[in-house]
């Protein structure tokens, strides 16, 4: 019998924490989870779920316009109501919160409402009560970070933007990551006059260069005002909104400013510094392949360990962690290569594997196949939206090492192709696959001519 109150005490009921708690409990471990905000973490409450719902909403604007070329006419102009979207989203998230609660209850996990603090290697304090555990898992996720500048308190962060009281007819996004790009597209699609301000020469750093350039051009065509190599100097409240002064001297007046400038591990007040838990330069917790920190009884996973900030990654890490600590044998190390991801800007981005730039660094010779075309749908819609599809191939092995797409439903299409990349399939395998016609996706198996070496 253990001498502790729990075998595993999880701090944070996000995707990774809940998955670890449930699967550990299924092995017979006695488990508790402490959460001080909402069940489901960032993804369910202020991340991928509400963002995708808002992205769906934003796409209707284009769908109404596109329908005219197919014979549809609307008797009156469509009208968007922000409060309906916002409040329906709130109800859906409440439903998902309830599901997470029932999953934990069904697994026999004790749920404690409160912010836990680690007080030693085997003890936490929550709601004034000390509880002991053989192992403590830190799965508290990330928190938005806003840079210092005059008036930065007038911005909203990515946690707050979903629940604005009123729809911002004039909107500015500060940042160049996927959150910034997504919200610029979403608010633009919902009808706001939208600006994106980024200090670098081009957004989505780390993505394939051709994808970045193509996305920039498509977003600009849709009306997003892009401001590169410039930053916010100050924001001032004025009678008619917010006056934003940029570092190039220009001023913009908007109704809301979203600071989408990154998220950092939400470790404040957890007490880990007092225990000497090692961190990386980024502030993330340093862990080994068993997800142990420098204090072996304290584990960590998800956004707090500084890897890819993706829900499926946290879920996979949770399964790995439980296999290491509560399974019969040690699993193979977690693989972080070839993880597919999507950016829900308009048009969407889907990507898996290496960018062209990464492939050129890794392999002595590569072949690039790319197609930039107007989708069949838009031959009648009248839209000038284009689609980009791209394969990156290692010349020596013929393996497809990267797949990239910018276009409608890119995430849905690339998910299937991620299996092929993960399995190490070759360009010859793609060529031997009969396409589904007529679809945009068939382009991935019909590209025969090398675009460049």
CATH code of residue 166: 3.50.50.60
Evaluate whether residue 103 is within a structural domain.
yes
Do 19 and 105 lie in a common domain? yes
Counting the structural domains of the chain, the total is 3
Q: What is the pLDDT of residue 330?
A: 87
Evaluate whether residue 437 is within a structural domain.
yes
Arithmetic mean of pLDDT, 138-162: 96
Arithmetic mean of pLDDT, 201-207: 98
| Beta bridge mates, 452 | 368
- Which of 275, 303, 326 terminates a domain? The answer is 326
Arithmetic mean of pLDDT, 182-193: 98
- Which of 226, 243, 261 terminates a domain? The answer is 261
Do 12 and 103 lie in a common domain? yes
Do 296 and 364 lie in a common domain? no
Q: Which residues are catalytic?
A: 437
Do 65 and 23 lie in a common domain? yes
Do 135 and 270 lie in a common domain? yes
Give tens-digit pLDDT for 415-428.
999 999 999 999 99
Do 183 and 252 lie in a common domain? yes
Do 40 and 133 lie in a common domain? yes
> Read out DSSP for 306-367?
TS---HHHHHHHHHHHHHHHHSSSPPPPPP-TT--EEE-SSS-EEEEE--HHHHHHHSS-EE
The three-state (H, E, C) secondary structure of 350-387, written as one string: EEEECCHHHHHHHCCCEEEEEEEECCCCHHHHCCCCCE
Do 369 and 395 lie in a common domain? yes
Do 23 and 119 lie in a common domain? yes
Q: What is the pLDDT of residue 2?
A: 63
Do 133 and 15 lie in a common domain? yes
275, 124 contact by CB (below 8 A)? no
Structural domain including 414 reads 341-445
Do 391 and 419 lie in a common domain? yes
pTM over 0.85: yes
* Poorest-pLDDT segment among 36-40, 173-177, 367-371, 406-410: 36-40
- Which of 209, 235, 261 terminates a domain? The answer is 261
Arithmetic mean of pLDDT, 21-47: 95
Do 243 and 278 lie in a common domain? no
């Amino acid at each position: 019998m253990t001498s502790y109150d729990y075998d595993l005490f999880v701090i944070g009921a996000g995707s990774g924490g809940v998955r670890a708690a449930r699967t550990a409990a299924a092995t017979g471990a006695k488990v508790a989870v402490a959460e001080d905000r909402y069940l489901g973490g960032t993804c369910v409450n202020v991340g991928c779920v509400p963002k995708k719902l808002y992205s769906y909403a934003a796409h209707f604007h284009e769908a109404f316009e596109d329908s005219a070329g197919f014979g549809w006419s609307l008797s009156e102009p469509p009208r968007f109501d922000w409060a309906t979207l916002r409040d329906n989203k709130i109800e859906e998230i409440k439903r998902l919160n309830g599901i997470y609660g029932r999953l934990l209850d069904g697994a026999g996990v004790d749920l404690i409402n409160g912010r836990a603090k680690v007080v030693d290697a085997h003890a936490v304090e929550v709601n004034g009560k000390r509880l002991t555990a053989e192992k403590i898992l830190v799965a508290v996720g990330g928190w938005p970070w806003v840079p210092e500048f005059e008036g930065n308190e007038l911005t909203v962060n990515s946690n707050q933007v979903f629940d604005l009281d009123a729809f911002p007819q004039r909107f500015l996004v500060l940042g160049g990551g996927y959150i910034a790009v997504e919200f610029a597209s979403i608010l633009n699609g919902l009808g706001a006059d939208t600006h994106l301000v980024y200090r670098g020469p081009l957004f989505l750093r780390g993505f394939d260069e051709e994808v970045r350039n193509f996305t920039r051009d498509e977003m600009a065509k849709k009306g997003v005002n892009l401001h590169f190599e410039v930053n916010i100097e100050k924001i001032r409240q004025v009678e008619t909104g917010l006056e934003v002064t940029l570092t190039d001297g220009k001023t913009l007046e908007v109704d809301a400013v979203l600071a989408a400038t990154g998220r950092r591990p939400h470790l404040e007040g957890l007490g880990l510094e007092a225990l000497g838990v090692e961190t990386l330069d980024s502030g993330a917790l340093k862990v080994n392949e068993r997800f142990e920190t420098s204090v072996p009884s304290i584990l960590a996973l998800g956004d707090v360990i500084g890897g890819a900030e993706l829900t499926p990654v946290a879920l996979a890490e949770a399964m790995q962690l439980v296999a290491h600590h509560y399974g019969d044998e040690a699993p193979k190390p977690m693989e972080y290569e070839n993880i597919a991801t999507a950016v829900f800007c308009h048009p969407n981005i889907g990507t898996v594997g290496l960018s062209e730039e990464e492939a050129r660094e890794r392999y002595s010779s590569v072949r690039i196949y790319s197609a930039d075309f107007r989708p069949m749908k838009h031959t009648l819609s009248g839209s000038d939206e284009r689609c980009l599809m791209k394969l990156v191939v290692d010349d020596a092995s013929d393996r497809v090492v990267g797949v990239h797409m910018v276009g409608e439903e890119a995430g849905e299409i690339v998910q299937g192709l991620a299996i092929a990349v993960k399995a190490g399939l070759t360009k010859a395998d793609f060529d031997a696959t009969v396409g589904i016609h007529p679809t945009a996706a068939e382009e991935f198996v019909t590209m025969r001519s090398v675009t460049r070496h």
